[in-house]
């Protein structure tokens, strides 16, 4: 993975992650092959913040069904990134730029 934007897929914006943001922790969905060092570099360069700690976890796939059809939701990797005190990441400013259009 040479491109930083291939490592960070998108921020996870939920009620729980909004509460974590109050404690300088931000949650991102990341590439499954990315390690903590690569995630740290990507967040520091993309958002211009100092990363204190990176925790990662792999969310397992789940069985889903639509009617009689059975399938599985894909597994994915999440990273919980803690930034230095006094620094923030404005995730809601990024929301409209994901598709390339204006909100």
DSSP the chain: ---HHHHEEEE--SHHHHHHHTTTEEEEEE-TT--HHHHHHHHHHHH---EEEEEEEEEPPEEEEETTEEEEEPPEEEEEEEEPTT----HHHHGGGSSSS--
The domain containing residue 55 runs over which residues? 4-83
pLDDT at 88: 92
Q: What is the pTM of this model?
A: 0.83
Determine, yes or no, domain membership for 78: yes
What CATH number has the domain bearing residue 35?
3.30.70.330
pLDDT at 91: 82
pLDDT (tens digit, 9 = 90+) per residue, 39-65? 999 999 999 999 999 999 999 999 999
């Amino acid at each position: 993975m040479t491109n930083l934007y291939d490592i960070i897929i998108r921020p996870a914006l939920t009620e729980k992650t909004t509460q974590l943001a109050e404690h300088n922790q931000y949650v991102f969905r990341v590439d499954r092959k990315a390690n903590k060092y690569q995630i740290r570099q990507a967040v520091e360069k993309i958002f211009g913040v100092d990363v204190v700690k990176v925790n990662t976890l792999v969310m397992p796939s789940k069985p889903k069904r639509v009617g009689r059809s059975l399938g599985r939701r894909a597994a994915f990797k999440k990273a919980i990134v803690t930034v230095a005190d006094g620094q923030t990441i404005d995730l809601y400013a990024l929301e409209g730029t994901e598709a390339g259009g204006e909100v």
